[in-house]
Structure 1
Amino acid sequence: MIEATDFRDAMSLLTTAVNVVTTEGPSGMHGFTASAVCSVTDTPPTLLVCMNHSSRSHAHFIDNKILSVNVLGAQHEQISNAFASKLSSEERFEYGSWTQLQTGAPVLEDALVNFDCEIEQIQEVGTHSIFMCRVVAVRHGDQKSEQQDGTNESLVYFNRSYHQVGQVEIA
């Protein structure tokens, strides 16, 4: 049998994109930092998002039935840390500028890309819920302004620390 600590150590070497996942609805506005996000299919456009049952906002995502995945750029490390911290939901959203797309879930205005989703299915596996999310809107970040200030790199997590990935255009 594989020990949980051995599994976590091995998974720390799997490079993952850093995302802030948000929701808003009858249960309020909430969000958390997530690396367990991936594409399922493009027909229909579907994402998979994993969330720990022990997260204080877990029940709110289930109640609201919507979420947005905000893919963070290299400049968003402070936002990632805020949404992974013990700050209140209100304090977390003081970081960054937020707007909405179709579902009403908060989307980070300068994210690399935003996926606005409806939670269609929830699968319980061990300590986590797996949300199967139908993508109803996508918004790409403003690549032109990002290239001008050299920040069109992605924020990734590898070996328990942040890194930047992507090409910076050199004029």
Structure 2
Amino acid sequence: MTATAIEVNASTPAGVGQSFRTTMRRFPATVTVITSCGAGDGRDHGMTVTAVTSVSMDPPSLLVCLNNRSLLHELLLGRPDFVVNVLTQDQVAISDAFSGKVAPEERFAGCNWRRHENGVLYLPNAHAAIACRRVAAMPYGTHTVFIGQVISAEVQESTRPLLYENAQYCASSPAVLTA
């Protein structure tokens, strides 16, 4: 794992933080549940995350940003395996559960979770399930940017991903093009 600390510039102009927060609220994002398990105790854990994006096709890789104070952050530092479960429009309850509305030890109850060959739980009826192995972690400010090399990826062609914008869940649909 490569980790390089970067100093955060403390001289942010006044008002930029609030403007950025407002802007990001209006920035639609795909809703995912990232799952992992503890290296020592094997305890399963997951968390709703919208800060996920592709990095490269060669090698196939994803970028995931996690708050340094989260349990998932600690798990990804201790064990390199994780799965990005892209939720469907019908999985709002799962997103809510993994965003803290349900206790961590109860979050996996009631769903058809399966164990990937890497040992991490994944949701087979998610829009997509992307299993990764952490290859880099870069701390920045309050978060760490994790890079995961993709070891497997599956997508359901008949579902649509769940989106989040302006503090509410949204559904994707094709744009109507006008001539």
Q: Same fold (TM over 0.5)?
A: yes
3-state secondary structure, aligned to 1:84:
helix
| Residue type of the alignment partner of 1:42 | M
Give unpaired runs (5+ residues) of structure 2. 1-12, 175-179
3-state secondary structure, aligned to 1:82:
helix
Correspondent of 2:73 among 47, 53, 58: 58
3-state secondary structure, aligned to 1:136:
strand
Q: CA deviation at 1:95?
A: 4.4
| TM-superposition CA deviations, 1:137-163 (whole Å, max 9, x none) | 11223x4xx4xxxxx222101111100
3-state secondary structure, aligned to 1:57:
helix
Q: CA deviation at 1:79?
A: 0.3
- Asked if 1:8 is matched to 2:15, the reply is no
For 1:164, the equivalent position in structure 2 comes to: 171
1:88-107 aligned at under 5 Å gives the runs 88-107=103-122
Q: CA deviation at 1:57?
A: 3.1
| Residue type of the alignment partner of 1:26 | A
Q: Contact 1:102 / 1:136 at 8 angstroms: preserved in 2?
A: no
Give unpaired runs (5+ residues) of structure 1. 147-151
Aligned pairs, number:
159
| TM-superposition CA deviations, 1:38-74 (whole Å, max 9, x none) | 0000100000000001223321221121110000100
| Residue type of the alignment partner of 1:19 | T
Q: CA deviation at 1:110?
A: 0.5
Larger radius of gyration: 2
Provide closer, same or farther for how the CA distance between residues 13 and 95 of structure 1 changes in structure 2, counting only shifts above 3 A.
farther
- Asked if 1:113 is matched to 2:120, the reply is no
Q: Contact 1:112 / 1:154 at 8 angstroms: preserved in 2?
A: yes
Q: Distance in 1 between matches of 2:173 and 2:91?
A: 14
| TM-superposition CA deviations, 1:91-114 (whole Å, max 9, x none) | 111142111223221111200110
Q: CA deviation at 1:12?
A: 0.8
Q: Distance in 2 between matches of 1:90 and 1:117?
A: 23
- TM-score (ref. length: structure 1): 0.86
Q: CA deviation at 1:25?
A: 4.0
Percent sequence identity over aligned pairs: 31
Q: CA deviation at 1:36?
A: 0.4
Q: Distance in 2 between matches of 1:26 and 1:81?
A: 26
| Residue type of the alignment partner of 2:172 | V
